[in-house]
């Protein structure tokens, strides 16, 4: 046991402290106070508190967290942070020895001393499992630790962490945290922090008034009224949830006062009530505006997914006129390629997508070309047979993936730069993965339009799709153009699979979920028109998301389909019909 | 002349085959296994097939039942609901099995129900479900709503002070019935209609941004809010991912799920789910000797140390043991005798308590609430002080409250006896 010997040297737990672990804490504190000088006292009691964490019940841990914060203050920050992150472990053999364990790469753990953060040992998973056990944590503890952390980082910490701490405190602001904020307010230099502090204090003021502690029918105190008016002014235009809640509760309290007693103080309450109402109204208006923006973003995001799924089909079905039921499986192949790429580079997940995009394009394009050369080219001009044959191919591909990878869904990891959200304000936050995929879909679209409009391949594709015989007569190798076009459409579908692997489950049935949507978008946009596909996917996405809150998800989908059926009745060629001879 | 020949041959063939079948039936006791081994439900159901096979193997090691060996007959209904009925018929009439362990989704059970009733067979159904059913020929070894949904809601209300409720589910019979019961229950406790939000999504839904955003908005009205999720299958993965991305954590809006267990969590990163809840009658983390032994046995049988155990596996375990005990008590495998012997049978469950078979074909079960940990396991944070008897017909819907099920009492002997009209509605379930 090399590890434990090191540990013993690192943490000199005196025999005194070890004996003192189990008796009630109050006794311990009083007792140690007599025994040690102030400095050692803090350290000793912190050590003994932490040592108790491993064997304590959840209820006991709650009080321990409070005591750790009280005893150690700023010094407890790393310990509590490690606890919150679930990194606190203890030795199975000696439960009172607590360490921080950090997972390094896949299977190794770095064990750190929690007080000095010096490395104690570096071991693999098996040894780690055998020797260490986790200090368990639950929701209440997490909440408690978060509050403690915000209190600590309020007095020290950077501007950003202070802002974060204040936001966390605002929700459950009480007497003690309010007085803490008040005492720090004077010393604070940063303007935004100061502003947020005053908001927290205003929320506290309002809460107190709501409780009736400082404000009731009998109140005839102009200074009190002035204080509340000031608080209300501060809260005007704030979008934080806690602010709105405090205002709503305060309003309800005022209304209670007016209803409660006939002889309430009109002059005092009426102006306050109308002021509160006006502020709530303006805040709600602003919130509604941002919710509208959010919904628009959701619509665009869904639209971008539809665009990605459909754009490959816009080429194979739209331009070449092949009803390709295996299109969804090309998307699936792209998603599985992402999975395989991540398997091959497990330590570089952040960069895996940059490899996966070209890889998925190649894989799907190759499969597409093989399908085209072996099946589809024998079926030109026979749409029904093509439909059946490609449906058969889709079944084969799905079963192949099932046999190769198992029928279970595969886990594709999200790179860290794609998780989380861009917080514009407390109401509006845009998730990064959706933002990137929106941008990516537009990029793919532009690239594809470029290929079709500006390259010689694109010229050939357009020529062949407009008049095969004439193109042939002009020396275009139509066979090859067909294969390459089909490969391009399939490759783009594969690229879509990379994006979708970040949003949905990667399983054999992934493609099935998108095939209907893809056809819907292409038909609605107008067959053979890339621009139509773009407009169609975004408008269908937006329509879906704006209907969803009113009708529910299932009905929204149905309504969109009904709308398209009616639309196609009126305009069979979609939004942007092909013009000229090509349309025939 | 020719025709007569054919007929005689046929008759002879049928008789000989019948004789051989009955001769074979004397040698072994046949256990039918009706779980999907392909299709969408294969993910969950294959595990249960393996569990039954493991139990059969273990019983045979102990010498079988009534001096005979057990023989498992496995069929694959392929996640195809009508095929469940066909395969059940095949098991009963062709294979002549003595008992069937099978089904997962409620719709597959509903499809098998007429078959087992017509042929008077025995089905053990091992999954938590929506209740409102009690068939003479089915034993429900999973949780009824009062053994999962109702206690979970009580926990949220009492322990976490939840005042506003989001009932989110997949659009099919189990979530819809469960949510109907929960809504009635919450209203009876004085929760206003505006404090309940109900949302349904299709199977395999992946675009959760709008729903999560509206949950966030619903939760920003000043009252503690929780989500009660009956979302089923792999739609849960993008749902929890979206919750994580939009910053909905367990300490501001906790999600309690009824269909997410260890098996569903195995193989993906649970850090965004940390602290969200699930309600079951069993967790792998439950501390008891029986559970340790079961986990060890399972890992050895399946030859994979990373495999986990879950609630429907425990329900299969309980069902199998109860059936084996009833067969020994009845000294027969005849359906009617076994059924009568079942009532009152007590078998140990895996959490350290006792499961008793009730006359309404349900079991007594403890209810546990667990918080999801970053290793894909659950930390048990709450449990009922003792086992809760399963209630076939919920007390929280007016039309079901007056219905009782009792297959033991000879005066009632019915799965849906109306206590007001004193009549059995004539339906068999």
Partnered with residue B369 across adjacent β-strands are: B279, B382
B267 and B373 inside one domain: yes
Backbone angles phi, psi at A404, to 5 degrees: -75, -45
For B200, the domain range is 146-287+368-389
Does the pLDDT at position B3 exceed 80?
Answer: no
A139 and A179 inside one domain: no
A136 and A210 inside one domain: no
A374 and A241 inside one domain: no
Interface test with B, best of A553, A557, A560 (most B CBs within 10 A): A553
A96 near A90, Cβ under 8 Å? Answer: yes
Exposed, middle or buried: residue B426 (CB in 10 Å: 0-12, 13-18, 19+)? exposed
Closest CA to A461 of A495, A494, A488, A492: A488
- pLDDT tens for each residue of B294-325: 999 999 999 988 889 999 999 999 999 999 99
Does the pLDDT at position A25 exceed 50?
Answer: no
Among the candidates A128, A143, A158, a domain finishes at: A143
The CA distance from B205 to the nearest CA of chain A, in Å, is: 9
pLDDT at B13: 57
The answer to whether B42 contacts chain A (CB < 8 Å) is yes
Q: What whole-number distance in Å separates Cα of residue B115 and Cα of residue A163?
A: 65
What three-state secondary structure class fits A403? helix
B162 and B130 inside one domain: no
Check residues A538 and B408 and name the one with the higher pLDDT.
A538
A526 near A564, Cβ under 8 Å? Answer: no
The CA distance from B319 to the nearest CA of chain A, in Å, is: 27
Alpha-carbon separation of residue A430 from A300, A439, A497 (angstroms): 12, 13, 22
Chain B positions in Cβ-Cβ contact with residue A407 (cut-off 8 Å): 38, 42-43
B140 and B164 inside one domain: no
Check A139 against B254: CB less than 8 A apart: yes
Check residues B291 and A143 and name the one with the higher pLDDT.
B291
**B417 within some domain:** no
B180 and B164 inside one domain: yes
Share of chain A above pLDDT 70, in %: 89
Exposed, middle or buried: residue A43 (CB in 10 Å: 0-12, 13-18, 19+)? middle
Packed helices A478-500 and A327-344: angle between N→C axes, nearest 10 degrees? 60
**A549 within some domain:** no
What is the b/e burial string over B261-283, where b = at least 16 CB atoms within 10 angstroms of the residue's CB?
bbbbbeebebebbbbbbbbbbbb
**A269 within some domain:** no
Q: What whole-number distance in Å separates Cα of residue A272 and Cα of residue A229?
A: 7
A325 and A441 inside one domain: yes
B114 and B207 inside one domain: no
Check B209 against A431: CB less than 8 A apart: yes
Query: β-strands B346-348, B354-356: how paired?
Result: antiparallel
Q: What whole-number distance in Å separates Cα of residue B238 and Cα of residue A506?
A: 11
The CA distance from A490 to the nearest CA of chain B, in Å, is: 23
Q: What whole-number distance in Å separates Cα of residue A109 and Cα of residue A87?
A: 11
**Quick one: closest CA in A to B381, which residue?**
A138
Check A302 against B207: CB less than 8 A apart: yes
Domain count, chain B: 2
Check residues A441 and B221 and name the one with the higher pLDDT.
A441
Does the pLDDT at position B85 exceed 50?
Answer: yes
Q: What whole-number distance in Å separates Cα of residue A264 and Cα of residue A12?
A: 67
pLDDT at A263: 58
What three-state secondary structure class fits A583? helix
Sheet holding B28-34, edge to edge: B69-75, B28-34, B99-102, B123-125, B138-140
Closest CA to B125 of B161, B84, B159: B84
**B118 within some domain:** yes
**B315 within some domain:** yes
B297 and B277 inside one domain: no
- pLDDT tens for each residue of A114-157: 888 888 888 887 788 778 888 878 777 888 888 888 888 887 77
Check A138 against B254: CB less than 8 A apart: no
What three-state secondary structure class fits A171? helix
Among the candidates B347, B364, B381, a domain finishes at: B364
Which one of A139, A411, A421 has the shortest CB-CB distance to B246?
A421
A50 and A179 inside one domain: no
Alpha-carbon separation of residue B145 from B139, B215, B322, B397, B399 (angstroms): 15, 24, 22, 12, 16
A496 near A311, Cβ under 8 Å? Answer: yes
pLDDT at A214: 56
B244 and B385 inside one domain: yes
- pLDDT tens for each residue of B360-398: 999 999 999 999 988 889 988 888 988 999 999 999 988
B193 and B276 inside one domain: yes
Chain A positions in Cβ-Cβ contact with residue B268 (cut-off 8 Å): 411
A354 near A527, Cβ under 8 Å? Answer: no
A196 and A116 inside one domain: no
A359 near A337, Cβ under 8 Å? Answer: yes
Report the sign of the C-alpha dihedral through residues A351, A352, A357, A358, in that order: positive
What's the gap between Cα A104 and its chain centre?
24
For A79, the domain range is 2-143
Check A245 against B275: CB less than 8 A apart: no
B182 and B252 inside one domain: yes
Closest CA to B241 of A547, A411, A365: A411
B319 and B356 inside one domain: yes
Does the pLDDT at position A1 exceed 70?
Answer: no
Does the pLDDT at position A172 exceed 80?
Answer: no
A335 and A437 inside one domain: yes
B225 near B253, Cβ under 8 Å? Answer: yes
**A278 within some domain:** no
DSSP code string of B198-262:
EEEE-TT----HHHHHHHHHHTTSSS-EEEEEE--GGGHHHHHHHHHHTT--TTTS-EEESS--H
What three-state secondary structure class fits B124? strand
B211 and B329 inside one domain: no
Alpha-carbon separation of residue A10 from A3, A80, A100 (angstroms): 11, 20, 14
Check B210 against A298: CB less than 8 A apart: yes
- pLDDT tens for each residue of A527-550: 778 899 999 999 999 999 999 888
The answer to whether B158 contacts chain A (CB < 8 Å) is no
Closest CA to A328 of A417, A410, A262, A391: A391
Report the sign of the C-alpha dihedral through residues A66, A67, A70, A76, in that order: negative
A68 and A189 inside one domain: no
Q: What whole-number distance in Å separates Cα of residue A314 and Cα of residue A526?
A: 9
The answer to whether B304 contacts chain A (CB < 8 Å) is no
- pLDDT tens for each residue of A384-393: 999 999 999 9
The CA distance from A245 to the nearest CA of chain B, in Å, is: 5
- pLDDT tens for each residue of A197-251: 888 888 888 888 877 755 555 555 677 778 888 888 888 888 888 888 888 888 8
Q: What whole-number distance in Å separates Cα of residue A250 and Cα of residue A277?
A: 10
Domain count, chain A: 3
CATH number at residue B105: 3.40.50.2300
Among A29-43, A492-506, A508-522, B82-96, which is the least confidently predicted range?
Answer: A29-43
A502 and A419 inside one domain: yes
**A558 within some domain:** no
A255 and A303 inside one domain: no
pLDDT at A41: 62
The answer to whether B201 contacts chain A (CB < 8 Å) is yes
What's the gap between Cα B217 and its chain centre?
34
pTM, rounded to two decimals? 0.81
The answer to whether B287 contacts chain A (CB < 8 Å) is no
**A565 within some domain:** no
Closest CA to A215 of A202, A227, A230: A227
Provide the terminal-to-terminal Cα distance of chain B, rounded to the nearest Å: 49
Where does the pLDDT of residue B7 fall: very low under 50, low under 70, confident under 90, or very high at 90 and above? low
pLDDT at A272: 82
**B411 within some domain:** no
Check B267 against A146: CB less than 8 A apart: no
pLDDT at B4: 66
Check B205 against A294: CB less than 8 A apart: no
A250 and A389 inside one domain: no
**B237 within some domain:** yes
Among A3-17, A82-96, B272-286, which is the least confidently predicted range?
Answer: A3-17
Check B199 against A503: CB less than 8 A apart: no
Where does the pLDDT of residue B79 fall: very low under 50, low under 70, confident under 90, or very high at 90 and above? confident
Provide the terminal-to-terminal Cα distance of chain A, rounded to the nearest Å: 83
Closest CA to A574 of A314, A356, A365: A314
Among A129-138, B12-21, B108-117, which is the least confidently predicted range?
Answer: B12-21
ipTM, 2 decimals? 0.77
Share of chain B above pLDDT 90, in %: 60
**A504 within some domain:** yes
**B25 within some domain:** yes
Where does the pLDDT of residue A42 fall: very low under 50, low under 70, confident under 90, or very high at 90 and above? confident
Chain A positions in Cβ-Cβ contact with residue B373 (cut-off 8 Å): 86, 136
Check residues B167 and A553 and name the one with the higher pLDDT.
B167
A59 and A177 inside one domain: no
- pLDDT tens for each residue of A52-75: 888 888 888 888 888 888 888 778
Chain A positions in Cβ-Cβ contact with residue B379 (cut-off 8 Å): 136, 138
Packed helices A512-525 and A266-313: angle between N→C axes, nearest 10 degrees? 90
**A165 within some domain:** no
Q: What whole-number distance in Å separates Cα of residue B370 and Cα of residue B311?
A: 12
Element (H, E) at A134: strand A132-134
CB pairs under 8 A between A and B: 106
**B88 within some domain:** yes
SS3 content of chain B, % helix, strand, coil (to 5): 45, 20, 35
Arithmetic mean of pLDDT, A425-430: 85
The answer to whether B328 contacts chain A (CB < 8 Å) is no
Where does the pLDDT of residue A2 fall: very low under 50, low under 70, confident under 90, or very high at 90 and above? very low
**A105 within some domain:** yes
Q: What whole-number distance in Å separates Cα of residue B212 and Cα of residue A294?
A: 12
B98 and B212 inside one domain: no
**B16 within some domain:** yes
């Amino acid at each position: 046991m090399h590890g434990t010997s090191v540990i013993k040297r690192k943490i000199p737990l005196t025999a005194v402290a070890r004996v003192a672990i189990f008796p009630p804490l109050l006794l311990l504190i009083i007792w140690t106070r007599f025994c040690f000088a102030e400095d050692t006292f803090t350290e000793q009691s912190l050590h003994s508190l932490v040592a108790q964490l491993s064997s304590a019940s959840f209820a006991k841990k709650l009080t321990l967290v409070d005591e750790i914060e009280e005893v150690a203050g700023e010094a407890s920050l790393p310990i509590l942070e490690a606890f919150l992150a679930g990194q606190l472990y203890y030795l199975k053999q000696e439960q009172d020895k607590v360490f921080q364990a950090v997972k390094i790469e896949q299977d190794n753990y770095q064990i750190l001393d929690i007080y000095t953060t010096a490395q104690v040992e570096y071991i693999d998973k098996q040894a780690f499992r055998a020797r260490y056990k986790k200090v368990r944590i639950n929701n209440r503890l997490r909440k408690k630790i978060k509050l403690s952390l915000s209190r600590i980082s309020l007095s020290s910490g950077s501007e950003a962490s202070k802002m974060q701490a204040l936001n966390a405190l605002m929700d459950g602001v009480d007497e003690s945290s309010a007085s803490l904020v008040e005492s720090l307010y004077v010393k604070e230099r940063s303007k935004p922090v100061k502003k947020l502090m005053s908001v927290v204090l205003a929320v506290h003021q309002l809460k107190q008034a709501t409780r009736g502690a400082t404000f009731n029918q009998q109140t005839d105190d102009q200074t009190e009224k002035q204080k509340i008016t000031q608080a209300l002014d501060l809260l005007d235009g704030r979008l934080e949830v806690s602010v709105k809640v405090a205002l709503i509760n305060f309003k309800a309290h005022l209304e209670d006062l007016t209803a409660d007693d006939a002889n309430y103080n009109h002059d005092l309450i009426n102006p306050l009530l109308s002021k509160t109402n006006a502020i709530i109204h303006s805040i709600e208006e602003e919130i509604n505006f941002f919710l509208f923006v959010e919904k628009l973003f959701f619509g665009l995001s869904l639209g971008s997914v539809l665009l990605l799924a459909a754009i490959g089909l816009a080429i194979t079905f739209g331009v070449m006129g092949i009803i390709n039921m295996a299109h969804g499986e090309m998307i699936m192949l792209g998603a599985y390629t992402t999975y395989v790429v991540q398997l091959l580079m497990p330590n570089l997940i952040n960069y895996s997508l940059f490899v996966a995009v070209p890889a998925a394009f190649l894989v799907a394009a190759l499969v597409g070309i093989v399908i085209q050369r072996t099946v589809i080219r024998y079926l030109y001009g026979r749409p029904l047979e093509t439909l059946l044959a490609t449906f058969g191919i889709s079944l084969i591909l799905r079963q192949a993936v099932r046999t190769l990878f198992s029928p279970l869904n595969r886990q594709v990891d999200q790179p860290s730069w794609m998780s989380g959200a861009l917080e514009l304000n407390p109401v509006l936050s845009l998730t990064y993965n959706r933002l990137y995929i929106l941008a990516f879909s537009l990029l793919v679209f532009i690239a594809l339009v470029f290929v079709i409009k500006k390259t010689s391949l694109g010229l050939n594709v357009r020529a062949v799709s407009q008049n095969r015989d004439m193109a042939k007569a002009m020396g275009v190798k139509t066979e090859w153009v067909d294969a390459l076009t089909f490969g391009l459409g399939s490759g783009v579908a594969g690229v879509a699979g990379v994006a979708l692997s970040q949003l949905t489950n990667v399983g054999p049935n992934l493609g099935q979920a998108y095939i209907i949507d893809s056809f819907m978008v292409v038909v609605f946009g107008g067959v053979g028109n890339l621009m139509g596909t773009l407009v169609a996917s975004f408008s269908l996405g937006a329509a879906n998301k704006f209907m969803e809150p009113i009708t529910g998800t299932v009905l929204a989908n149905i309504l969109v389909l009904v709308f398209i059926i009616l639309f196609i009745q009126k305009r069979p060629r979609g939004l942007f019909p092909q013009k000229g001879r090509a349309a025939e | 002349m020719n025709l007569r020949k054919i007929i005689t041959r046929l008759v002879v063939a049928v008789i000989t085959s019948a004789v051989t079948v009955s001769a074979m039936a004397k040698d072994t006791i046949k256990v039918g296994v009706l779980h999907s081994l392909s299709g969408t439900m294969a993910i969950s159901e294959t595990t249960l097939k393996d569990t039954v096979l493991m139990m059969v193997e273990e019983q045979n090691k102990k010498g079988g039942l009534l001096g005979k060996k057990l023989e498992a007959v496995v069929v694959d209904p392929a996640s195809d609901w009508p095929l469940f009925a066909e395969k059940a018929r095949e098991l009963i009439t062709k294979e002549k099995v003595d008992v069937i362990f099978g089904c997962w989704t409620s719709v597959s059970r509903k499809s098998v129900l007429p078959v087992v009733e017509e042929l008077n067979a025995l089905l053990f159904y091992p999954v938590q479900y929506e209740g409102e059913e009690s068939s003479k020929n089915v034993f429900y070894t999973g949780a009824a709503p009062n053994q999962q949904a109702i206690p979970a809601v009580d926990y949220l209300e009492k322990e976490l002070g939840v005042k506003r409720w989001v009932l989110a589910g997949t659009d099919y019979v189990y979530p819809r019935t469960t949510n109907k019961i929960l809504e009635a229950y919450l209203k009876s406790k004085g929760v206003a209609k505006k404090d309940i939000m109900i949302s349904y999504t299709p199977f395999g839904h992946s675009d959760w941004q709008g729903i999560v955003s509206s949950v966030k908005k619903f939760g920003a009205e000043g009252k503690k809010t929780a989500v009660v999720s009956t979302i089923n299958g792999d739609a849960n993965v993008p749902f929890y991912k979206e919750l994580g991305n939009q910053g909905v954590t367990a300490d501001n809006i906790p999600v309690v799920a009824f269909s997410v267990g260890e098996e569903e969590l195995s193989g993906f990163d649970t850090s965004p789910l940390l602290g969200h809840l699930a309600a079951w009658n069993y967790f792998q983390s439950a501390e008891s000797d029986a559970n340790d032994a079961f986990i060890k046995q399972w890992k050895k049988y399946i030859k994979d140390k990373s495999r986990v155990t879950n609630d429907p596996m425990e329900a299969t375990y309980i069902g199998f043991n109860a059936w084996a005990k009833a067969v020994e008590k009845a000294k027969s495998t005849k359906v009617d005798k076994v059924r009568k012997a079942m009532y009152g049978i007590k078998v140990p469950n895996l959490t350290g308590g006792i499961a008793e078979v009730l006359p309404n074909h349900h079991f007594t079960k403890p209810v546990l609430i667990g918080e999801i940990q970053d290793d894909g396991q659950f930390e048990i944070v709450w449990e009922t002080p003792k086992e809760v008897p399963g209630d076939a017909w919920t007390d929280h819907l007016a039309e079901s409250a007056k219905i009782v099920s009792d297959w033991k009492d000879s005066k009632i002997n019915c799965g849906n006896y109306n206590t007001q009209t004193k009549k059995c509605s004539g339906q068999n379930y």
